[in-house]
Structure 1
Amino acid sequence: MKLELLYFDDCPNWKIAAERLDGIAGGRGLTVERRLVTTLEEAEAARFRGSPTILVDGEDPFASGDEPFGLACRVYQTPDGPAGSPATEQLEAVLDA
């Protein structure tokens, strides 16, 4: 399984997502590749729906399909309401699927 975390530096939420994802992945013997996105062109090419974007085998399991591509902070719907990163339980569920 290939895990990627796409982000841009101006969004603080990627660090929370990285911490959660690294913890879960490490417990499963997986590594997380990080990719810095710096331009709108890179965002469109990577299908970057905002920071942080998590890809599992190249797919964004949290995308509904209508989010725009670009350099913005992303909002996730979590059990506790909107947040800047998926909840740990949501990440675990994605990796278990």
Structure 2
Amino acid sequence: METDAPGEPGPTAERDATIEIDVLVVPDCPNRQLAEERLRQALDETGLRAARLTTRTVTDGTTAARTGFTGSPTILINGRDPFAEPGAVPSLTCRMYRTQDGLDGAPAAARIREALRAAAAAGGGA
């Protein structure tokens, strides 16, 4: 694992800055907090604490279609949904994720870590 000297920007810090994460949710999404907690945990565990994390509310079908929002919460890493299911269509509904323990309201932390590491390895591109 790469580390940076204190106070010196290095490869990890540069990659962190290029990773942008958007959590897209519908109003009052019951799984928003779970998704955000798992994302923060994964960011801490991967050392990507400087990545930009934004939560946005999606309220209409046009925005859902434009952003690739296939249910709440949708996590985009650099504009791409690494958890996209083939054939999923834009939708203003709750979204469920397949985990080893069954369906859940957010991706498993391990899958989020994998997606973050892949984005970092690609130089910030997901």
One fold, TM greater than 0.5? yes
Corresponding position of 1:19: 37
The one of 87, 100, 112 equivalent to 1:91 is: 112
Tell me the amino acid that sits aligned with residue 8 of structure 1.
V
| TM-score of the superposed pair, with normalisation by structure 2 | 0.71
Is the partner of 1:54 in helix, strand or coil? strand
The one of 36, 48, 55 equivalent to 1:28 is: 48
Is the partner of 2:76 in helix, strand or coil? strand
Alignment root-mean-square deviation, CA: 1.4
1:73 CA displacement:
0.4
| Moved segments of 4+, more than 4 Å | none
Rounded to whole Å, the distance in 2 between the matches of 1:89 and 1:12 is 21
Is the partner of 1:10 in helix, strand or coil? coil
Gaps of 5+ in 2: 1-18, 119-126
1:82 CA displacement:
0.8
1:67 CA displacement:
0.7
Assess if the C-alpha contact under 8 Å between 1:5 and 1:18 holds in 2.
yes
Percentage identity across paired residues of the two chains: 39
Rounded to whole Å, the distance in 2 between the matches of 1:81 and 1:49 is 19
Rounded to whole Å, the distance in 2 between the matches of 1:23 and 1:54 is 14
Question: Any idea what the Cα deviations from partners look like across 1:15-55, whole Å, max 9, x if unmatched?
Answer: 20011112322542223111110111211111100000001
Is the partner of 1:44 in helix, strand or coil? helix
Larger Rg: 2
Worse overlay, 60-69 or 23-32: 23-32
Rounded to whole Å, the distance in 2 between the matches of 1:96 and 1:81 is 24
Rounded to whole Å, the distance in 1 between the matches of 2:57 and 2:28 is 11
Rounded to whole Å, the distance in 2 between the matches of 1:34 and 1:81 is 25
Corresponding position of 1:9: 27
Assess if the C-alpha contact under 8 Å between 1:25 and 1:32 holds in 2.
no
Rounded to whole Å, the distance in 1 between the matches of 2:91 and 2:83 is 16
Tell me the amino acid that sits aligned with residue 19 of structure 1.
E
